Amino acid sequence: MADKKRKVNTKFDPVREAALQALVLIEQGQQTDEAISTVCEGKEFRQLDNRFIMQLVNGTVKMRRRIDYEVKFYLARPAKDLPILLQNIIRLGYFQLKFTDRIPDAAAVNESVNLAHHLLDKRRANLVNAVLRASIREPEKVVYSSAKDDPAKHLADFYSYPDFFVKYAIREFGLEDTEKLLIYYNQSPHVTYRVNYLLAKPEEVLEMLDAQKVTYSVGKFLPEFIHIESGGLPLEEELVRTGKVFVQDEAAGLATRLLNPRPGSTVVDLTAAPGGKATHIATKMRNKGRVTAIDKSHKRLELLVENCKRLGIKIIAPIISDMNMFEGGLFDRVLLDPPCTGWGTAGKHSDLRWSKTSEDTKTLINIQAKMIDHAAKLVKPGGVLVYSTCTIIRDENDQIVEEFIIRNQKFEIESASEFFSDEIVNSRGFVRTYPAVDKLDGAFCARLRRKPE
């Protein structure tokens, strides 16, 4: 009874508790956005609180490996042997101490101890206090492996990534560019707005942002994209909710530009929900023609329909179907954005680096090969197929397309140089963006034309 009374009277921060509960859900398999939505549901947090929760959760998840590596120097036993709640209280507190610059050390320690008192017991609260205070008092206790003797392990521990990804990146990009990539992904991501030409013009949106003194930059390759550099979702009510803009990374828009859909044409997006690319396509078509949007998730297609209503789009026809089972005739344009490892978006999806394994690529390339073969059957003679991913893993990109061309003599590669500068078009005519170089998500897309009969 006394213990219950003590826990009830313990002062604790409900915002940090929400972040903690989200960390536990993520470790149990939920995606970050889903976990944050779950713990915030029904709670009347301010917008500032919601942003703080996102900062704490995304940051702690990203830096999980480094935090666990450093914390072990202040523990008598491995962190993995601690109960999941205690382990994540320590992680959350340690992240605030070492990776934020606006939270005083005393606040980071005290709030973590309070959470342990409230959710666990005095003995474990004392452990949290001891670990965090020792990390402040004795930072020199943390020692990393030699960057010269084992560069992959050093980078993986220090920047907090799985070994297999760091090793792949070193083979693909070299040591120096790999480190730049890892650093870039650990930065706080910024939002990008895509102007919806059906309801607004870029100049109008820029004027509204200027009036609010919002810091931004215009898209590097697509002028309808605006990168918000000051953080948050500025003018959310006036711009996002009215459909004048859609939140989407510029890299995701490259496939639509490469597809080059024309007003009055027929297009199918084979993995369409929740509708980022499909709505971009419909906008490019000026709401004239037909965009068939395929997805096997009813829930995600409902999001697509909601997005269409908000954006004023009337030419998208959603169809619930596995794309490999879809046989809806021939189309002028076919877009295939298959499931991929997503390593081009690791800066925005903090749990990705811990939910993906090296085996995922092997599984996915078989799925991707099957999907592109089926997509090809839906292209009219003279029509165009665009294959697009949000990963930087070559096996899921170049290799899929090159092997497809060998199997399908009716198709040929059309260089993307007609649509983009050589800055992002390689010698084979494929579009490739690299986050640390282009300051966009990593993306790949290839334009394939079916030869006329």
242 and 281 in a single domain? The answer is no
Mean pLDDT of the chain: 94
Q: For residue 246, what pLDDT is reported?
A: 98
The 10s digit of each residue's pLDDT in 146-163 is 989 999 999 999 999 999
358 and 446 in a single domain? The answer is yes
216 and 254 in a single domain? The answer is no
pLDDT for 80 beyond 90: no
Q: For residue 141, what pLDDT is reported?
A: 96
SS3 435: helix
98 and 172 in a single domain? The answer is no
Domain span at residue 158? 152-185
Tell me how many domains the chain contains. 4
178 and 105 in a single domain? The answer is no
Mean pLDDT, to the nearest integer, of 57-64?
A: 97
- Token pair listed for 46: 């301010």
Mean pLDDT, to the nearest integer, of 89-97?
A: 97
Residues 6+ apart with CB under 8 A from 304: 272, 273, 274, 275, 278, 279, 293, 295, 316, 318
pLDDT for 8 beyond 50: no
Backbone angles phi, psi at 429, to 5 degrees: 90, 10
How far is residue 36's CA from residue 68's CA, in Å, rounded to a whole number?
22
395 and 258 in a single domain? The answer is yes
Q: Which residues are catalytic?
A: 390
- Maximum CA pair distance of the chain? 84
**116 in Cβ contact with 125 (< 8 Å):** yes
Q: What percent of the chain has pLDDT over 70?
A: 98
- Token pair listed for 27: 């470790």
CATH number at residue 285: 3.40.50.150
Residue 146 located in a structural domain:
no
CATH number at residue 72: 1.10.940.10
Residue 147 located in a structural domain:
no
Confidence of residue 1 (pLDDT cuts 50, 70, 90): very low
Question: Buried b / exposed e across 45-65, counting CB within 10 Å, b at 16+?
Answer: eeeebeebbbbbbbbbbbbbb
**105 burial level (CB within 10 Å; 0-12, 13-18, 19+):** middle
Strand partners, 217: 227
Mean pLDDT, to the nearest integer, of 107-123?
A: 95
If DSSP states are collapsed to H, E and C, what string results for 112-149? HHHHHHHHCCHHHHHHHHHHHHHHHHCHHHCCCCCCCC
Residue 372 located in a structural domain:
yes
Tokens 């205690």 belong to residue:
86
Mean pLDDT, to the nearest integer, of 411-433?
A: 96
Confidence of residue 54 (pLDDT cuts 50, 70, 90): very high
pLDDT for 329 beyond 90: no
93 and 236 in a single domain? The answer is no
Q: For residue 5, what pLDDT is reported?
A: 40
306 and 366 in a single domain? The answer is yes
175 and 164 in a single domain? The answer is yes
CATH number at residue 216: 3.30.70.1170
The 10s digit of each residue's pLDDT in 17-31 is 999 999 999 999 999
Strand partners, 444: 389, 432
